[in-house]
Amino acid sequence: PLSNRLYTPAPPQGAMEGQDASPILYVNGKRHVMPEGKAEQTLLAYLRGLGLSGTKLGCGEGGCGACTVMVSNYDRAKGEVQHRAVNACLTPLYACEGTHVITVEGLGTKRGGLHPVQRALAHAHGSQCGFCTPGFVMSMYALLRSKKTKPTELEIEEALGGNLCRCTGYRPILEGFKTFARNAPDSAYSGETINGSADAAANGNGLNGLNGNGHAHLNGNGDAHLDKSKSSTTPICPSTGQPCTNGCGNTPAAKALGAAEDDPITAVREPIFPPELKRRVPQPLAIGGPIATWHRPTTLAGLLALKKAHPDARLVCGNTEVGVEVKFKNMKYPVIVAPTHVPELTEVTVDEDSLVLGASVTLTTLLTTCETLTARLGPVKTSGLVAIKEQLRWFAGPQVRNVSSVGGNVCTASPISDLNPLWIACGATFEVESLDRGARRVAAKDFFKGYRSTDLKPDEVLRCVALPLTAKGEYVREFKQSHRREDDIAIVTAGMRAKFDVVDNVPTVAEISFGFGGMSFKTVSCPKTSAALTGKPWTDETLKLALATLPEDLPMSPDVPGGMCEFRRSLANSFMFKFYVDCCRRLEADGLVRDAVAAAGLDAGDLSAADRFHRPFPSGAQYTQVKDGTTLGQPTMHQSAEVQVTGEAEYADDIAKPVGMLHAALVLSTVPHGKILDIDPAAALATPGVHGFFSAKDVPNNVIGPAVLDEEVFASEYVTCVGHPVGVVVADTQDIALEASRLVRVKYETLPAILNIDEAVAADSYHTWPGFTDHGIEDGDVDVAMAECEAAGRVVEGDARCGGQEHFYLEPMVSLVWCGDNDDLITISSTQAPQKHQKLISSALKIPCNRVVCKTKRLGGGFGGKETRAAFLNVCAAIPAFHMRKPISLVLDRHIDMAITGQRHAFLGKYKVGYSPEGKILALDMMLYNNAGNSLDLSAAIMDRALFHSDGAYKIPNVRVKGRCCKTNLPSNTAFRGFGGPQGVIFAEMWMDRVARKLGQPVEKIRHINLYEEGETCHFGQKMESSQLRACWDEAVAKADIDSRRAAADAFNAANKHRKRGIAATPVKFGISFTALFMNQAGALVHCYLDGTVLVTHGGVEMGQGLHTKVAQICAAELGIETDSVYIAETSTDKVPNASPTAASASSDLYGAAVTDACRQLNERLAPVKARLGPEKSKDFKEVCTAAYFARIDLSAHGWYTTPDLVWEWDGTKGRPFNYFCFGAAVSEVEIDALSGDVNLLRTDIVMDCGDSINPALDVGQVEGGFVQGAGWVALEELKYGDPDHKWIRPGTLFTAGPGSYKIPTANDIPLEFNVTLLHNAPNPRAVASSKAVGEPPFLLANSVFFAIKDAVCAARAGNGLDTDITMDSPATPERVRMACGGPISDVFYDSTNAPAYRAKLTC
């Protein structure tokens, strides 16, 4: 018999004697009494108010994990402390009453010693920009604290599912944390670190250096024991803080994280759970406030009474829905009720027939319950539980699942819910209750009444969910397809259940039910289909009936909200086919029907259609060269890594705020094009706490622009995009400023808007600035060569599109400006281009540049997005700062940042290509268009680089390429890693792929024969010198063993009808230099101090790429000292003037060479000193500096560098626009689900030419990070604006604003096998230390992923009897993949047999 209670919460009790009635929480072991009247405040705001800035605000909607902290509470029923990772940006402060909150600052510090988790990440090179790093540390830490055994590798990966990183490509993060897994070597937890010996730990060289020295041992049972010779004290339990006598302190996690109580050297002390909180009995809360009142009942009667008294009250468990509504939809909820402490709502019971879940049970508890019962009850009873468990694996991140409740998920009534279709399919019932009418039950299929509305009455609450267990011959299956597999909302989700009667070996449908999300304005069942299939034999005819009837149950109009009509309808039918296959397979496997698969008209090739996706932990290798005897070529850890993993690294919004600082919020246009008729700030100015409103009339010089003067600080007469700044409100707090900004009334006369490239071309709407725009390059005689090819029938012609890409730097835009006593301004901002800020602020305020100082210490990512668009925001903040003489802070929320600061340009390419019978490209004629947006910004230079790279890596004797920058009513697009190069190159690969398919040749063969040879000349006149292109290609294809793997892929494709594999190799040739020649200059200051240490200041900005670390290594090598003796503090315009932006991958070259020049000067001055000291004493740089000082020798030098030999003019002549080229090659293999469009990246092999790497660890990190970011662009990330192709979005408005709707890669999206080689023995004679740039070129390696996907799609099309010469636009999202595959299921909605391959709508 089953135990009917899996979890019974402790009943409510009175307060313990002497218990403080004040609401309290502990933070990092320190007791805090909660402030009153702050029901609307988040835990994140509270923590940052305490000065704990290691917890970051990345998105504000629980989608990035930068704000992750651990919350611990005492479960009185279980008698144990529970630990969970949560998103502090969503967690209400009052929800943490009675808990212990641990932030990254509570673990370790650089000065005091790193926690093992922090050390593992730092020494694995898993922190680049560092903004996301504290969140990763806390997610890993919470996993270790929450488990009683060491986690598996997959558990580690899943624990990081709610954390995003834009820099590293995730591999080093996983690699670092893998040391904590069950199969990790014993040395992962060192005796030195456990015991807190800072000196011993600091001597380790990475994790391998922490060898334990016999102080820590892990036995075969996974238990950890401290060597008694080191410490004989009883271990301290991290959960209780008391000496551990029951063995819990000997678990790997506890022992690894604990410290001996009497250890005199305490570098790392584990925060213990406060004993007061163990004794404290939760009591009802009622905390009033001016905005909202917070209630926390502890009894069901109390909850029902509150709901009766406040029928409009919102019930909040995890705040994952309400928090987003309040922040982003400006909803107001004056009464909030937290039912988390009502025992009846947290109970979990099971009997012979059903599982009953209290409405406040978290989704994590639901997941673990399903896992427990599946193992305990066996497969017959738990088919529904398995489906729920599998669906929850892809539901949000752990931080959300840890707090979100079953009831909250149900009652939100989302039309794209993951779980509600399963409740319907499984026949679940919901028990609701009110104080006056008592309890009633509602079938799940009858509960959802409309868009986010349910059958709940205003005074009712959902008490529990009853889920029937399954019986023999009853099968439940879950389905979900989203843009990104992990932590993403569904495009379409479904639950299906069938129960069979088997007579004479024939299965007949006794019951069948469906639930679908994403197919209507609510979760729906399919009554027509259920009725049609009931009583039918499970045969091919029944399947056909289902596929014909489902579209009747699931009608959808072409302009449906969310778009993708054909894809969504195809998914619904594809899921039905998968369910059909799955049931056949299970009927046969369970022994209920002999040969069920064959009898159903299926064969072995169909079976994989029903496979669930299971991904192993990724693996890979990195092959580099490490030099000996010099600081150059060493894999030195990022100089800021240790302060980044501890949360001590300061970003622009983390610095101590000046006294009297005010907060700014922008007033933004809500129409894409309009004439301003009136601006009325009266209501905003009347708001308490508001200090002013500033608009165009307050700007001395309102006309600005980074390249040409075509922008305004604030719109004066016309707005030209949604998000165009109209003014700025200044207030006491950011919340007040934001609220007031929404009260400023702006009246417009709406004008016609141009929203995409096609409309711009039709309207002849281009940015035209002589000297800046409308460039072209021509080489050879294109017309003659093309005519010959056309006569021979060897021409491919067409158009291709690639979408834009959001930078998604984890640190949003930040500006802090204050005015000095002489009208001088100081600004600290998150920018790649401090000089541009200085220049634009000076121009707007009409003050000299020498009165403006712009400082930047580090960025939380940039990728080009903080080059120019950050500057106009800083000007917006400088205006009120100047007028009010007050410090002003402007911090953009993530959705505003994404909506107004521009992205990578979408491009349209129209091409004609002629080729020889062997596949040699003979002629290219191409016209490029980019969507520049409402101002020129850097669009012309971006188009220029696209023109330079339109040859890809291929020698083409006859080329004509031209480009136009389209003027549209979207926010101005801007620089992004690659700067137009990726768009030019992907078009080259698109037509190259088509040529190969026309010839029926392997694409890699045609690519190979067209690769540039040494000494050949590009279409713009630059010669290939010291080319490593073919060396990279040959090594990459050899390491990848492409021929045998292609044969294996072909065999796989022949054996699987609905899953296909593709493989592709693509090369990279990328020019290094600013194409604006005057920008190729750099300066640096080097100061030597009397203690032998060196301070370097240069014009480059550290944004995670390791620039400062490389410059320090160069400086150390030149001066003959250790890298640790060199320090680089910040970038400031008063130290190095007129610095070019940190961009174009050239900063290491430029500033490294400038530092080299400064060191050369110093060495020349110090040479006589060293000669006098002699060889031995000269080895001590301190002694050299001291002697030089007493000899009155200048120990400071200014270095300068200009890139030599650059020649280029846009006058039709040839030249040398680049200092040199970077080369590389990548081979990628993917597997696609041809029924759903899902893509799995199986393996990538990269060979990258980095010259003689200055720092192999940093360079590998840039290669991996650039590749994964590029894979996002070509296969995942899609911007959607309101335009003619997306009429369901408000015109000109960015729909994909935030991580909820815009998806960058997660750790689950990197290659399963990820191999990176830095090309050996390939010195570069044209850059410092024979190195090469590495920031942008690896981005283009991701083309291999796109064309591997296309290769798999073509295999699917061939299997469906369709043409394989198709155009597939980028990105290759699930929609594009599924619909391009074609086939009979999708042909119902788009007939691919009688039309070109389906091309999904794209904002372009």
Sort 132 into a burial class: Cβ within 10 Å, 0-12 / 13-18 / 19+: buried
Residue 1262's identity, in one-letter code, is Q
Residues in the chain: 1404
Sort 676 into a burial class: Cβ within 10 Å, 0-12 / 13-18 / 19+: buried
Report angle CA 568, 569, 575 to the nearest 5 degrees. 85
DSSP 1328: G
500 backbone dihedrals φ, ψ, rounded to 5°: -115, 145
Residue 225: both structure tokens together: 């024991």
- Greatest distance between any 2 Cα atoms in the chain: 106
User: Which residues does 743 contact at the CB level (< 8 Å), separation at least 6?
Assistant: 681, 683, 684, 687
Residue 1399: both structure tokens together: 């091309």
* Rg for the chain, CA atoms, rounded: 32
Sort 1091 into a burial class: Cβ within 10 Å, 0-12 / 13-18 / 19+: exposed
Residue 753's identity, in one-letter code, is A
Measure the CA–CA gap between 1123 and 634, rounded to whole angstroms.
10
CB 1133 within 8 A of CB 1098: no
Within 1344-1401, strands assigned E span none
Residue 56: both structure tokens together: 């970051």
CB 50 within 8 A of CB 80: no
Measure the CA–CA gap between 259 and 233, rounded to whole angstroms.
10
User: Which residues does 329 contact at the CB level (< 8 Å), separation at least 6?
Assistant: none
CB 837 within 8 A of CB 864: no
Q: What is the dihedral of CA 736, 738, 739, 743, to 10 degrees?
A: 120
User: Comparing C-alpha atoms, which of 965, 966, 939, 817 is closest to residue 869?
Assistant: 939
CB 448 within 8 A of CB 471: no
Measure the CA–CA gap between 1025 and 363, rounded to whole angstroms.
59
Measure the CA–CA gap between 990 and 800, rounded to whole angstroms.
8
Residue 817: both structure tokens together: 């400006």
Q: Is 1336 a catalytic residue?
A: yes
Residue 1183's identity, in one-letter code, is E
CB 317 within 8 A of CB 362: yes
CA 1111 and chain centroid, separation? 28
CB 681 within 8 A of CB 727: yes
User: Comparing C-alpha atoms, which of 277, 119, 290, 146 is closest to residue 201?
Assistant: 119
Q: Which of 390, 739, 1102, 1336 is catalytic?
A: 1336
Measure the CA–CA gap between 570 and 550, rounded to whole angstroms.
10
**By three-state DSSP, how is residue 263 classified?**
coil
CB 1151 within 8 A of CB 1098: yes
Q: Helix H segments across 329-362?
A: none
Measure the CA–CA gap between 1102 and 1087, rounded to whole angstroms.
19
Tell me the HSE value of 271 on the side-chain side, using a 13 A CA sphere. Answer: 26
User: Which residues does 668 contact at the CB level (< 8 Å), separation at least 6?
Assistant: 722, 723, 724, 725, 726, 741, 896, 899, 900
Active site residues: 1336
